[in-house]
Amino acid sequence: MCGIVGYIGERQASDILIKGLSRLEYRGYDSAGIAIANGKLEVRKKKGKIVHLSNDLERAGISGKIGIGHTRWATHGAPNDVNAHPHVSSDGTFALVHNGIIENYTALRESLSSRGYNFTSQTDTEVLVRLIEDVQKNTGLSLGKAVRQALSQVEGAYGIALVSGEDSDMLIAARKGSPLLLGIGEGEYFLGSDAAPIIEYTKKVVYLNDGELIIVRRSGFKVFSVEDEALDKTVHELEWDLEQIEKGGYEHFMLKEIMEQPSAVENSMRGRMLDHDPFVQLGGMMDSIEDLKNASRIILCACGTSWHAALVGEYLIESLARIPVEVEYASEFRYRNPILREGDAVIVISQSGETADTLAAMEEAQKNNVPVYGICNTVGSTIARETKAGVYLHAGPEIGVASTKAFTAQVSVLTQLALKLSQGRTLGDDELKEYVTEMKAIPAKIQQVLDSADYVKEISQIYGHASNFLYLGRGPNFPVALEGALKLKEISYIHAEGYPAAEMKHGPIALIDESMPVVFLAMQDSSYQKVLSNIEEVAARDGIVIAVTDANNGDLDALCEHVIRIPKTIELLSPLLSVVPLQLLSYYIAVMRGCEVDQPRNLAKSVTVE
Ligand code: F6R
């Protein structure tokens, strides 16, 4: 949500900033802008996608070797040129970009207005700019110290970066709640709100923690704490490669990431699954497994697709390990005064590791002295750093806004966790071995599902004009129905709902007519006969049925318009396969409708505001 990039060195900053912004565009695409310091400050910003800004710069470039850039996902103020970042101080001496929300901006704005400051935009960011100016004016402090003092008056979340027109050898950045990292090159530094704009130049990075401020010069950088003390920071090595964040011949990141699922799931298991004791080894969590086994309750907190993975996790952990699980929307958790008791354990699940709602849920649990564990994809993210222990997905970077491979990798990790929690309690060695063997076969089975992509594409061409879709599933495939509906909504803008199949008769059946496709997850599992009855009920009302079922199932051809066959697996593992045709269906429908698949309207990857 909003992307920040910065550069200081000997190259032309605008080239690096524009490239970096393009790599960050998945974080927001309402407007983009850059500020370059070259003896003075030059700012260029444009509504809309980065291409508008880069076209503008091609017509008339800005020379200079230090600068900051921003791609915006609008919160305060419409997406237009004026509200676009960077925002510049009244005297034109410094420019600032911001990710996050200044929650007390109304009070600050009123106070600053009453003291004669003018505002040209509706953003909370401009309030921070004026506040820094005010501190500078009243105290005569250096820009770095004035930023620190201004930030102490701010409530909310921010990742910010500043350049000064008066000092072309200084980049300032600070964070609270919004990620920022510094890439270390040879005599040059790169700033990013994630690793994507940095990875092309260096793998050496320093992660900023909440409350920290960094001053970067060509000769080096210094990080300061909230108390203004200089800190020693560890330099980390990025694990991702440049090719992982490029499209690699695919038309869209989403398709690339759908197709990468065999390797994403394989990587999520690599070195972790054995067909003999100890069967599952989850490095980072091993010291906590006994505590989790003894937990009276495990609470899984997440948002969106990760919340759907958590629902699958509930089936897995309760069925296999017989430990009570509750699944919470992270966005609701903190605000409903949750009952957290001794013996509870919270697991937060997040692709980005930076979702503001999920971080807030994590903090709520920590405040109540409940241990919090993390399942996340992004190495070095806030969740990775601030949970007691955790497991990485190792799915590789996910750039498409619609989450796909992260979901299957999350379900894979949750399966591994459920198996580990079952060991020595509810599952014997033979059963564990059976699950491990089947899990190892899953990547090849996902590949088989992907091999039928053309058939799913054909179906998409027939129903891509529908206005509504219904997705129905039972047991572990109920969350898959929710996920199928979410994928369709977010990238093709078709209204879709997911329901437990048996709930259909309690209401949604009224929607069935000859124009609404109903997608059934109808694997031949313990609830198959019931789902079959539900399919009959839809067919009897002339509904259009698209069924996802097992490879050898011939029952459904007469009843359903289309039958998508996927390889057979153990019931609890079937979401790893059944979700894939639903991802493909939404992808092909969105393409057919001419939608911007990787950058759906109003959305952004990584929602870092509450
Ligand atoms: C949907 C999607 C979102 C995310 C949600 C949580 O395709 O991508 O619903 O799943 O914003 O994001 P993470 O997993 O990064 O916490």
State mean pLDDT over 572-586.
98
Q: Please report, as a single letter, which amino acid is at residue 49.
A: K
State mean pLDDT over 44-55.
91
State mean pLDDT over 209-218.
95
Quote the ligand 1 centre to 100 CA distance (angstroms): 17
Tell me which residues are annotated as active site.
2, 605
Q: pTM to 2 decimals?
A: 0.86
State mean pLDDT over 310-326.
98
Q: Closest residue (by CA) to atom 4 of ligand 1?
A: 304
Which two tokens mark 413? Answer: 């990790």
Quote the ligand 1 centre to 14 CA distance (angstroms): 31
| CATH 3.40.50.10490 for the 452-610 domain, yes or no | yes
The side-by-side arrangement of strands in the sheet containing 31-37 is 41-47, 31-37, 66-72, 3-8, 189-192, 181-184, 204-207, 236-237
Q: Provide the pLDDT confidence category of residue 432 given band limits of 50, 70 and 90.
A: very high
Q: Which residues form ligand 1's pocket by a CB distance below 6 Å?
A: 303-306, 350-352, 355, 358, 402-403, 486, 490, 606-607
- Cα–Cα distance between 347 and 388 in angstroms, integer? 10
**Ligand 1 atom, smallest distance to 407 CA:** 10
- Cα–Cα distance between 138 and 195 in angstroms, integer? 37
Taking CB atoms within 8 Å and a gap of at least 24, the contacts of 108-114 are 108/153, 108/154
Residue 384 has pLDDT above 80, yes or no: yes
The phi and psi torsions of 242 (rounded to 5 degrees) equal -60, -45
Q: Please report, as a single letter, which amino acid is at residue 337.
A: N
Which two tokens mark 136? Answer: 């500078």
- Give 554-587 as a 3 state SS string: CCCCCCCCEEEEECCCCHHHCHHHHHHHHHHHHH
The phi and psi torsions of 44 (rounded to 5 degrees) equal -135, 130
**Ligand 1 atom, smallest distance to 352 CA:** 15
- Domain edges within the chain: 3-238, 248-450, 452-610
- Cα–Cα distance between 220 and 241 in angstroms, integer? 25
146-200 tens-digit pLDDT: 999 999 999 988 999 999 999 999 999 999 988 899 999 999 999 999 898 999 9
User: DSSP string of 98-156?
Assistant: EEEEETTHHHHHHHHHHTT----SS-HHHHHHHHHHHHHHHH---HHHHHHHHHTT--E
- Cα–Cα distance between 21 and 190 in angstroms, integer? 12
pLDDT score of 607: 74
- Cα–Cα distance between 133 and 368 in angstroms, integer? 39
Question: Cα 6 vs. chain centroid, distance in angstroms?
Answer: 22
The conformation of residue 417, written as its DSSP 8-state character, comes to H
- Cα–Cα distance between 357 and 430 in angstroms, integer? 40
User: DSSP string of 44-73?
Assistant: EEEES-HHHHHHHHHHS----SEEEEEEE-
- Cα–Cα distance between 269 and 275 in angstroms, integer? 12
- What are the helix (H) ranges across 276-404? 289-293, 304-316, 330-333, 356-367, 382-386
Q: Please report, as a single letter, which amino acid is at residue 98.
A: H
Listed residue (577, 538, 576) closest to 559, CA to CA: 538
pLDDT score of 72: 86
Quote the ligand 1 centre to 606 CA distance (angstroms): 7
Sign of the torsion formed by the C-alpha atoms of 19, 25, 27 and 28: positive
Q: Do domains 3-238 and 248-450 have the same CATH topology?
A: no
Q: What percent of the chain has pLDDT over 90?
A: 82
**Ligand 1 atom, smallest distance to 308 CA:** 10
Question: Cα 477 vs. chain centroid, distance in angstroms?
Answer: 22
Quote the ligand 1 centre to 557 CA distance (angstroms): 35
Sign of the torsion formed by the C-alpha atoms of 185, 188, 189 and 195: negative
State mean pLDDT over 484-488.
98
pLDDT score of 1: 66
Which two tokens mark 108? Answer: 């600050």
The phi and psi torsions of 164 (rounded to 5 degrees) equal -115, 135
**Ligand 1 atom, smallest distance to 378 CA:** 15
Residue 609 has pLDDT above 80, yes or no: no
Which two tokens mark 535? Answer: 């399919």
Substitution candidate for ligand 1 out of 253, 355, 357 with most atoms within 8 A of CB: 355
Quote the ligand 1 centre to 195 CA distance (angstroms): 18
61-116 tens-digit pLDDT: 999 999 999 998 877 778 888 889 999 999 999 999 999 888 898 999 999 999 99
Residue 279 has pLDDT above 70, yes or no: yes
Which two tokens mark 324? Answer: 């009570």
pLDDT score of 310: 98
CB-neighbour burial class of residue 554 (10 A; exposed 0-12, middle 13-18, buried 19+): exposed
pLDDT score of 170: 97
Residue 244 has pLDDT above 90, yes or no: no
Q: The domain 3-238 is classified under which CATH number: 3.60.20.10, 1.10.3720.10, 1.10.10.410, 3.30.70.890?
A: 3.60.20.10
Substitution candidate for ligand 1 out of 252, 607, 608, 610 with most atoms within 8 A of CB: 607
Domain formed by 248-450, architecture: 3-Layer(aba) Sandwich (3.40)
Residue 438 has pLDDT above 90, yes or no: yes
